[in-house]
Amino acid sequence: MANAGFDVGTATVDVSSRESVHALVETTAAHDDVTGVIHAAGVSPSQAPVEVILAVDLYGTALVLEEFGRVIAPGGAGVVIASQSGHRLGALTAEQDKALAITPTDELLAFPMLQPDQITDTLHAYQLAKRGNSLRVMAEAVRWAKRGARLNTISPGIIITPLAKYELTGPRGEGYRRMVEQSPVGRAGTPDEVGTVGALLMGSNGAFITGSDFLMDGGVTASFFFGDLASE
């Protein structure tokens, strides 16, 4: 980005640490108005144990939204990158949905459904985290609106990034390849395709969109419930 002429600054941040995220927010806000936030940090089911997935993908997202929600400028917008996996988790109770959406950030990981005896495996933890991301964004969009800002979620399917390549060649690779092959589109997505949706949500053409989640997975979830993947 610097080579393309942008003024770029970088920071190493642990999104599961309030101190680390707060320092990023303070540094960013001191530089200029914060008009856009894109949060994509996360670990996959093959990369980390249950407790790390919940700390990074679930708690970390809630933390980033809370901290940046304090400083987001009027007219600003945010996008959280969630996952198709959140859409394939079975229905939760209304109480569970509400808890994932509005439980105070520092109390979130103490919620009963997130305890070790309730999480069956890393995929289950990942699905809960990503479902929690979309619910959290709905609730935070109401708070961000008080500052004149918008907030949405994108739930991509298999997008050819380093993380996806790791999954496609890792222990869950066969399942990932089958999802691609048996999806209605029949291929994986590209970062540019996700970026196009992100640009809509962050820009003036998306001014009427907030608190929403956009599933873009080439139809994998549709096939999971109603197509060839449903029979497996």
Cβ-based burial of 157 (10 A; exposed 0-12, middle 13-18, buried ≥19)? buried
Q: Are 217 and 84 in contact (CB under 8 A)?
A: yes
Task: Give CA–CA dist 177/55, Å, rounded.
Answer: 28
Instruction: Report the distance separating Cα 171 and Cα 24, nearest Å.
Output: 35
| 7 domain-assigned | no
Furthest-apart CA atoms within the chain: distance in Å: 54
Q: Is residue 13 part of a domain?
A: no
Confidence of residue 232 (pLDDT cuts 50, 70, 90): low
Residue 157 lies in a domain: yes
pTM of the model as a whole: 0.94
How far from the centroid of its chain's Cα atoms is residue 22's Cα? 19
Q: pLDDT-based confidence at 92, cuts 50/70/90?
A: very high
**CB count in 10 Å sphere of residue 83:** 26
CA distance 89 to 192: 27
What average pLDDT does this structure show over 58-84?
98
For the cut 80, the answer to whether the pLDDT of residue 102 exceeds it is yes
For the chain, the domain total comes to: 1
- Say if residue 165's pLDDT is above 90: no
- 3 state DSSP class of 218: coil
Any idea which residues carry the catalytic annotation? 126, 130
Give the full edge-to-edge strand order of the sheet including 34-39. Answer: 34-39, 72-81, 150-156, 213-216
What CATH number corresponds to the domain at position 54?
Answer: 3.40.50.720
Quick one: CA dihedral 168, 123, 194, 14, positive or negative?
Answer: negative
Residue 219 lies in a domain: yes
Place of tokens 């935070």: 140
Whole-number pLDDT of residue 120: 87
In a domain, 36, yes or no: no
* pLDDT for residue 105 is more than 90: yes
pLDDT band at 231 (very low <50, low <70, confident <90, very high): low
pLDDT level of residue 117 (50, 70, 90 thresholds): very high
**Which residues form the domain of 219?**
42-231
165 inside domain: yes
Average pLDDT for the chain? 94
Q: What is the pLDDT of residue 115?
A: 95
| Residue range 109-129: mean pLDDT, rounded | 95
pLDDT of 171 reads: 80
Confidence band, pLDDT 50/70/90 cuts, at residue 62? very high
> What per-residue confidence (pLDDT) applies to 172?
79
Contact by Cβ (8 Å): 82, 213? yes
Confidence of residue 51 (pLDDT cuts 50, 70, 90): very high
User: What's the gap between Cα 170 and its chain centre?
Assistant: 22
Average pLDDT over residues 115-122: 93
Average pLDDT (47-58) is 96
Of 136, 9, 133, 15, residue with least CA distance to 64: 15
**What's the average model confidence in pLDDT over 87-94?**
95
For residue 14, tell me if it sits in a domain: no
User: Could you tell me which residues come within 8 angstroms of residue 134 by beta carbon, excluding any fewer than 6 positions away?
Assistant: 82, 86, 153, 155, 213
Judge whether 8 lies within some domain: no
